Chains A and B, each alone.
Chain A
Amino acid sequence: MLVPIFTLKLNHKINPRMVAIGKFDGVHPCLTAATQAGKVFIHNPHTRGQRPAAHRLSQSTQDSDISLLNINQAVTCLTAGMLGPNTTGDTLLVGSQTNLLAYDVHDNADIFYREVTDGANAIVLGKLGDIPTPLAIIGGNCALQGFDYEGNDHFWTVTGDNVRSLVLCDFTGDGKNELLVGSEDFDIRVFKEDELVSEMTENETVTSLCHMHDSRFGYALANGTVGVYDRTARYWRIKSKNHAMSIHAFDLNADGVVELITGWSNGKIDARSDRTGEVIFKDNLSSSVAGVVEGDYRLDGQKQLICTSVEGEVRGYLPASKDLKGNLMDSSAEQDLIRELSQRRQNLLLELRNYEENAKGVSEANSGMGVIPANTQLQTALSVRPATEAQKAHVELCISTPNETIIRAVLIFAEGIFEGESHVVHPSSQNLSGCVRVPIVPPKDIPVDLHIKAFVGGKTSTQFHVFEITRQLPRFSLYDITVDASAAPSTGCVTFSINDRPQRVVMWLNQNFLLPEGVDSPEVTFNPLRGGGLLSISMTSNGQITLRTDDIDLAGDLVQSLATFLGIEDLSAEADFPGYFEELRSTLTEVDEFHSVHQKLTAAMADHSNYIRNMLVQAEDARLMGDITTMKKRYRELYDLNRDLVNEYKIRSNNHNALLACLKSVNQAIQRAGRLRVGKPKNQVISACRDAIKSNNVTALFRIMRAGTASS
């Protein structure tokens, strides 16, 4: 059994996922974490002695090993590592919703302090692709930005949604690091510098990523799932009712291969084999885990796994010694083996008994046992139902039995389309029948496997047969082919050419849409049941495809899906979405307005703080001179001013939030324009758009979005 080699109780709370270890003086590793009140603490038990207190750094009076850094803003992410070429030790990087600070703890000096409008939700430090210097890469609202030690941004690109997790690893195996980005739209994207090379879709917000070894990496989702990918293939995953707070790769059993260490919201820590997900070690902290890191904290040349909890508990584990034989838990392996075998034997015996009893027939059967005809088979059918007065538009799943048996309940387990992971239909006992209709409304256009479990039996049964069926819901299921002829066609369109036969496009249509009879020509029109104008697809004989829809997201999804199906690597397209472009134009003007308001408010705030200083001095003067009336007056004024400031703050924060929302939608627009193209043309569009925004050239921006290139 593995036990912690040290435990510490730091008297500071730790913000989840904001823990790092840095050797700020180049020698001694220090545990660094964000705590309440916009502070960062640095735990340095190695150099106990007098340290100067100045600037940001102040000594905590409670505990001499801890120094506190004042950030004066809510910290959102934090890391430490080598950034500059000529520094003695590691640089501490602290991100907040508006700024990124690079700080030299050893010299107690700011290296750079940059404003980042998109915020910094996640940070990673390291080398990316061919960029020579290490970068501090932050992920914010739909945007990624990389800064070098001078604070210059060498890297910028956009991604689908708010970034929640980042990691650098050699995904493609070319000896250079790629950037893996987990975001709130459930995708893990892989960037080779600013080129998107892969995209894996999960079913919840990707909260953590960590590099295991080679091209293998671990991930954690907001719904309690953790797992391991090798490139784009998922190796294993497990789901827990708790949430994974932090994941880390560490070789705990000393077998030469790292394990995935997960810290959970209930305080549990477990180590799982990277191949199978089998738990090889677990332990419990008394409160939720805040972060899992590694470092040589005892300075004895061995790396320890260090787990921290939100209440400031710290535990360190050494890799297991040889004589534990990889058996880290408190049970004996042989006992477990025998127990498992016996359990399997018992299961087989029970199954056998079921068959034997079944063969005996109904001799002793009573009504409760749920006797059903042996040839009962369940029929399932999927169909598209447009909205009626009583019900919203939905896909209907109809499950029925062929005989007099009834369906007591239907459980559907599917990812990403229900609120939880399952949906249940349980008719009341008066309404039992052999047919159950389940309305399904997929919120996004994703292909989903529906794992259906239907409980079939008699009306009075207490035991039911469970039928398990899996049906696939095609990607574009909420699109009805029966179209009202009078409806006006959509104004938005995207046009591109392919070198493929129309039959292949027809195949793609049949596989990705829910069509009752199938289609045989690529000229089709759908009525999107989520709303929005008609979607029509047409193809000319020379392979030019035109998609007409007002929904730029849908157009992007269709282009990507079609390109994947046909195996197209590069695809350029011309697009026009007048409605959306108009919206974007107004958003861009709003951004300018918000910026100017922001500047005005900042100036006003500076004025006010000057007043405060003056008034405070005057009030204190009055107090010292015994002039109570003036003092009261001054303090009253001060109070009023304070109230004004609070109000102004509220305005400022509203303004800021509105600005953030606008910036996000601008970033999304670039991403959307990119998604209408595939491969190189896509990257060109994104970088050209970015340049246009930088130079504030709105006309060029729209030209690029339409034509796909900056020129002409």
Chain B
Amino acid sequence: MEIRLNRVDYVQVGVTSQKTMRLLPALGKRATQKVAIADHDGILTCFGMKKGEAVPVFKTLPGQKITRMDLGGAVGTPQEKIFVCSGSQVRGFTKKGKQFLTFEANLTETINAMHVSGADLFVCASYIYNHYCDCKDQDYYLSGDKINDITCLTSEKLTRLVPILACQDRVLRVLQGSELAYDFEVPGPPSVLELVNNFCTGDEILYGTTDGKIGLVQIGEHSAATKWEIDNDKKKGGILCIDTYDIIGDGVNDILVGRDDGTVEVYGFDSNSEPTLRFEHVLTESVTSIQGGCVGKESYDEVLTATYTGWVTGLTTEPQMAEAGPGDEVRMSKETQSKVEALRAEMEQLQVKVMQGREQYQQISQSSTAVSVVPIFSVNDKFTLCQDDASYSLTLEVQTAIDNLLLQSDVPIDLLDVDKNSAVVSFSECDSEQPNGNFLLATYRCQANTTRLELKIRSIEGQYGTLQAYITPRLQPKTCQVRQYQIKPLSLHQRTHSIDQERPMNRLSLVGQFSFAEIHSWVVFCLPEVPEKTPAGEGITFYFHNTFLGTQLEATYCKGEGHFRSDNISTISILSDVLSKEATKKKINLNISYDINDDSVSHTLKMIHPKLEYQLLLARKVQLIDALKELQVHEGNADFLIPEYRKILDESANLLEEYKKQPAHLERLYGMITDLFIDKFKFKGQNVKTKVSSLLEILDNYDLNSLLDFFQ
């Protein structure tokens, strides 16, 4: 069952945060709904559509940036009170725009997630969760990692409220009062939670992750269960917002999804209640909010979205008229015409004002005492490790079109080509030697109207430093903003919640006069996805796994002591180098001891073996494709070939695609095996750099046993 949705743009407001647009409940059946949207200028706008034109209901005055919005109201009445949070303050407005609540949450940090349910208000700052009932403090919880979103089960069946936190360390934390009831692991860092509007059960929630996965979880009293999960095979963007609404019209609520690469998706359910993709549309910028409803025209359902730069766009079921009138010009509808005229008039006025502004700015530049300041423009950036290909993806989004981007790095990294990215890249020569120490200087000159850029970066473990991006938008007076991203020493590691204890492990132990906070800061420096805040308690254990090789790392530390266990000897070597360097910087004496398990090396090699063998085979097959094809053309058919070759020919398209997907995979594996070799003998006090060439020879004629022998 296919659906066709047509895109209609309604209004544009300022830059918006995640989940800051909602539809107010409809007054009657089949009536259009009003839209409430809040932006970074602190303005809450509420508007409705009349004859294709946006008619404002109310608009508040500018103020501090609004980070979330929710709707609420007394239980049993329409949920039409609007709550917004900015800084540590929560404000409530009626649907007419009258402010009836100002509540200071007394948090030191800004609120970044909020949920309203009846008289209950739930707010979260980065690590802190607070529950208020009738503005009175009820519960409090300190989370182990950043809280991205919150929701709360409020079914009549349940005896109590069940708040659920989506935390950066890949878990959903289910609370009971001020205590953690249990936590539930999800396949990626969850970024958004949404209740399923399903009154019969009322204990199901949808989550979306920053790496683009969606799942449905049933929350029980003491445990939770995953009902289904949608993987992100096509490498689409991370999820920013989810809603449920029956847009297809089959009586079952569909799932509406908005992603940070601008993709809007509608998932319907087939007869087996499995979610299937029914509709997809790509907007050019992050979709920050999404909701199903009826806005543009009565009795036509639509999916309403808000984007990062503040566009409110509907994807409506209303068919668009092909207005082919007489004559050659495309005839515009009257509404559009008046809209265009109004816009043109407004622009003319603005032009005049801008000209005045420019003149004044020119005049100021004559004075010797005046200074020139340009306000900081908002940049929406994301720097994440992709699990599948062990590379980092950097996305940058700006309110206006980007003119150019300068990337600078003081560590060797590779920039990979991204298909979606249309900017013209140019690499500049750089002197990696001092004094400038640049390993990468690249400029991206963007095509007109590019507000979002996506880049892919491959790092090497053990090489660490900073990547800087200078973003210049097309906006007068021209300014550029620099953003910094840390490339950590163990950049390819990712947090997990358990490791395989059976593997042969090497151990690195540190003893010295350092505080818990100090060693935690060193771990933060070395490994990604560790919360910056020192964890509560005496000590802590974190688990990681290497996204490229699949090896693991366990870090246990407390005041004065630290233990790191890994089956990969290179990981231990990198850690020991970096940690001792960091300690020396702080003038702390460290007592470092190793416990090297010789079996671990052959274990790691055996782990690499299937990957390496597969890659070698793939490379060899790909090499043969062209020659085989030529033979096929020459002989007219491929029947005379041995079955193996015929198979290669049959699968050639797949093989090529696979080969293209993972460029330099083999080189990376070779590099890691070489590191392993050097590190193994480093711990024995031998320098084997001279033997590396013979190792590479063995790798070229790869055989597991000869490699294992060489390592002995």
Docked-complex contact A36 and B630, CB < 8 angstroms: yes
Stretch of B4-12, B63-71, B76-84, B245-253 with 4 or more beta carbons under 8 angstroms from chain A = B4-12
- CB neighbors of A among B472-525 (8 A): 472, 474-482
CB contacts (< 8 Å) of B86 on chain A: these are none
A266: chain B residues at CB < 8 Å are: 419
Give chain B residues whose Cβ lies under 8 Å from the Cβ of A350.
Answer: 377, 399-400, 475
Q: Does residue B536 face the partner (Cβ distance < 8 Å to A)?
A: no
Known contacts A348-B347, A424-B428; is A355 also within 8 Å of B360 by CB? yes
What residues of chain B lie closer than 8 Å to A241, measured between beta carbons? Answer: 417, 421-425
The residue that A240 contacts in the complex, of B360, B371, B424, B426, with Cβ under 8 A, is B424
Determine the distance from Cα of A421 to Cα of B375 in the docked complex, in whole angstroms. 30
> Within 8 Å of chain A (Cβ to Cβ): is B470?
yes
Q: Is A600 on the interface with B (CB-CB < 8 A)?
A: no
Q: Confirm or deny: A560 has a beta carbon within 8 angstroms of a beta carbon on chain B.
A: no
Knowing A354-B477, A370-B479, the reply to whether A37 touches B633 (Cβ < 8 A) is: yes
Q: Which of B9, B421, B437, B477 contacts A339 (CB 8 A)?
A: B9
Q: A335-B8, A358-B361, A426-B438 are in contact. Are A345 and B343 (CB under 8 A)?
A: yes
Which residues of A are found within 8 Å of B421, using beta-carbon distances?
Answer: 241
Whether B375 lies near A357 (C-beta < 8 A) is yes
Within 8 A of B (CB), among A404-439: 408-409, 411, 413, 418-428, 430-431
- Alpha-carbon distance between A37 and B404 when the two chains are bound, in angstroms: 44
Which partner residue on chain B sits nearest A344 by CB separation? B347
Residues on B with beta carbons closer than 8 Å to the beta carbon of A13: 629
Task: Kindly state whether residue A201 has any CB partner on chain B within 8 Å.
Answer: no
**Which of B366, B426, B626, B634 is in CB contact (< 8 Å) with A420?**
B426
- If A352-B350, A419-B429, A428-B435 touch, whether A359 touches B360 (CB-CB below 8 Å) is yes
Are A354 and B476 neighbours in the complex by a CB distance under 8 Å?
yes
Is B358 interfacial (CB 8 A cutoff)?
yes
Judge whether A351 and B430 touch: CB under 8 Å: no
Size band of the B side of the interface? 35 or more
A389 surroundings in chain B (CB, below 8 A):
none
Assembly CA distance A119 to B518 (angstroms): 71
Residue-wise, chain B 329-360 has the 8 Å CB interface mask toward A (1 for contact) of 11011001001100110110011011001101
- Segment at the interface with B among A163-171, A461-469, A612-620, A640-648: A461-469
Beta-carbon nearest neighbor of B336 in chain A: A334
**A423: which B residues are within 8 A, CB to CB?**
428-429
Q: Is B365 an interface residue (CB 8 A)?
A: yes
Residues of A within 8 A of B368 (CB): 373, 375
The verdict on A358 contacting B426 (CB below 8 Å), with A345-B350, A427-B436, A463-B482 known, is no
Q: Which residues of B contact A354 (CB under 8 A)?
A: 357, 374-375, 475-477
The reply to whether A421 and B9 contact each other, CB–CB distance below 8 Å, is: no
| Interface pair B375/A353, CB less than 8 Å apart | yes
Q: B636 an interface residue at 8 Å Cβ cutoff? A: yes
A370 to chain B: which residues have CB within 8 Å? 373-374, 479
Bound CA span A327–B330, Å: 9
* Pairwise interchain contact A372-B372, C-beta atoms closer than 8 A: yes
Asked if B424 and A239 sit within 8 Å, CB to CB, the answer is yes
CA distance A347 to B350 in the complex (A): 10
Contact, CB under 8 Å: A375 / B350: no
Nearest-neighbour CB distance to chain A for B164, whole angstroms, equals 36
Q: Given the complex of chains A and B, what is the CA–CA distance between A376 and B479 in angstroms?
A: 14
- Among A224, A348, A372, A377, max chain B CB count under 10 A is at A348
Establish whether residues A464 and B482, one from each chain, have CB atoms under 8 Å apart when the complex forms: yes
Known: A351-B476, A368-B376. A426 touches B436 (CB 8 A): yes
**Residues of B close to A464: CB separation below 8 A:** 470, 479-482
Residues of B within 8 A of A566 (CB): none
Is the CB of A341 closer than 8 A to any CB of chain B? yes
**A347 and B475: CB pair below 8 A?**
yes
Question: Complex Cα distance A694/B445, Å?
Answer: 51
Smallest Cβ distance from A481 to chain B, in angstroms? 28
Q: Does A361 contact B (CB under 8 A)?
A: yes
Q: Which range holds the interface residue count of chain A? A: 35 or more
Closest to B407 in A: A424
Contact A466 B372 (CB under 8 A): no
Interface residue B463 (Cβ < 8 Å from any Cβ of A): no
Taking the complex as formed, is B637 at the interface, i.e. its CB lies under 8 A from any CB of chain A?
yes
CB distance from B72 to the nearest CB of A (A): 31
In the complex, the chain B residue whose C-beta lies closest to that of A355 is B357
Is B699 an interface residue, CB under 8 A from the partner?
no
Q: A61-B636, A455-B480 are in contact. Are A422 and B374 (CB under 8 A)?
A: no
**Residue in chain B with minimal CB distance to A337:** B340
CB A223 to nearest CB in B, in angstroms, measures 9
Contact between A62 and B443, CB atoms less than 8 A apart: no
B306 to nearest A CB, angstroms? 14
Point out the residues of chain A lying under 8 angstroms from B443, CB to CB. 411, 413, 420-422, 424
A354 to B365, CA, bound (A): 15
Pair A357/B354 contact, Cβ less than 8 Å = no
For A431, the chain B residues whose CB sits under 8 A away are 435-436
* A345 to B633 alpha-carbon distance, docked (Å): 59
Contact with A along B421-455 (1 / 0, CB 8 A): 11111111110001111100111010001000000
6-50 of chain A: CB within 8 A of chain B: 12-13, 35-37, 39
Contacts of A338 in B (CB 8 A): 9, 336, 339-340, 343
Of listed A240, A342, A368, A424, residue having the most chain B CB within 10 A: A424
Minimum CB–CB distance from A186 to chain B (whole Å) comes to 17
A499 at the interface (CB under 8 A from B): no
Are A325 and B376 in contact, with the CB atoms below 8 A?
no
Contact B367 A375 (CB under 8 A): yes
Report how far A239 CA is from B423 CA in the complex, Å.
9
Given A346-B400, A462-B481, verify A361-B371 contact (CB < 8 Å): yes
- A369 located at the interface, meaning its Cβ lies under 8 Å from any Cβ of chain B in the complex: yes
Closest to A462 in B: B482
Q: Is the CB of A371 within 8 A of B371?
A: yes
Residue of A nearest to B409 (CB): A426
- Whether A373 pairs with B441 at a CB distance below 8 angstroms is no
**B324 part of interface (Cβ distance < 8 Å):** yes
Q: Is there a chain B Cβ closer than 8 Å to A60's Cβ?
A: yes
Q: A421 to B445, Cβ gap below 8 A?
A: yes
Give CA–CA (A418, B426) in the complex, Å.
10
Least CB distance from B350 to A in Å reads: 4
Residues of chain B in range 654-702 having any CB-CB distance to chain A below 8 Å? none
A351 touches B423 (CB 8 A): no
A375 surroundings in chain B (CB, below 8 A): 365-368, 370
Closest to A358 in B: B373
In angstroms, Cα B368 to Cα A373, docked, is 7
Distance (Å) between the CB of A64 and the closest chain B CB?
12
Contacts of B350 in A (CB 8 A): 345, 348-349, 352
Is B375 a contact partner of A453 (Cβ separation < 8 A)? Answer: no
Q: Which residues of B contact A240 (CB under 8 A)?
A: 422, 424
How far is A409 from B406 in the complex, measured between Cα atoms in Å?
9
Q: Is B320 touching A62 in the complex (CB atoms < 8 A)?
A: no
Assembly CA distance A240 to B347 (angstroms): 31
Contacts of B399 in A (CB 8 A): 346, 350
Whether B709 is near chain A, meaning CB under 8 Å from some CB there, is: no
Complex CA–CA separation, A65 to B434 (angstroms) = 64
Measured between beta carbons, the chain B residues less than 8 angstroms from A359 are 360, 364
Chain B: minimal CB distance from A215 (Å): 28
On whether the beta carbons of B364 and A374 are closer than 8 Å, the reply is yes
Taking the complex as formed, is A485 at the interface, i.e. its CB lies under 8 A from any CB of chain B?
Answer: no
Q: List, in ascending order, chain A residues with CB within 8 A of B333's CB.
A: 334
Q: Which residues of B contact A358 (CB under 8 A)?
A: 361, 364, 372-374, 477
B354 to chain A: which residues have CB within 8 Å? 348, 351-352, 355
CB-based contact A12/B633 at 8 Å: yes
Known contacts A325-B330, A355-B357, A421-B424; is-contact A361 B366 (Cβ 8 Å): no
Given A358-B374, A373-B372, 5 extra CB contacts under 8 A: A348-B347, A348-B350, A352-B353, A421-B445, A462-B482
Question: Which 10 A-B pairs rank lowest in CB-CB distance, beginning with the nearest?
Answer: A420-B426, A355-B357, A61-B636, A466-B478, A374-B370, A424-B428, A424-B441, A348-B350, A357-B375, A374-B372
Listed A/B pairs (7) with beta-carbon separation below 8 Å = A338-B343, A368-B376, A369-B373, A374-B365, A409-B406, A421-B443, A463-B480
